[in-house]
Amino acid sequence: MRLADHAAFLDRLLERLDVRRRVVLVVHDWLGETRVPKLFVCAEPGQFLTGGPRELCRTWPNQAELSVPGVHFVQENAPDRIGAAIAAWLRELP
């Protein structure tokens, strides 16, 4: 790859990353303000949503939380527990 092509590729990549970052920030702000009911399925030990970001998600209003064992594909690690929790959560909604 020529240097100019590589630079153009990196420019496009950085643009896309910036757009995604802005989308994440907007959605985060909305989730932190809305009273829409939420079910947070927390994987333990988890892989991506750990530490500070996990704790920040826990501050969102009107949210129930379920902890399940898992790392990345938690729906494959604990499908029955997640399904039962979703069903119970839906029954409790007004």
DSSP labels, 18-87: HHHHHHHHHHHHHHHH----EEEEEEEE-SSS-HHHHHHHTTSSSEEEEEEEESS-HHHHSHHHHHHHHH
Flag whether pLDDT at 4 surpasses 80.
no
Band of the pLDDT at 5, cuts 50, 70, 90? Answer: confident
**pTM for the complete prediction?**
0.74
Give the per-residue pLDDT at 94. 87
Q: What is the pLDDT of residues 28-61, one digit of tens each?
A: 999 999 999 999 999 999 888 899 989 999 999 9
For the record, the structure tokens of 56 come out as 């920040």
Give the per-residue pLDDT at 10. 83
Band of the pLDDT at 12, cuts 50, 70, 90? Answer: confident
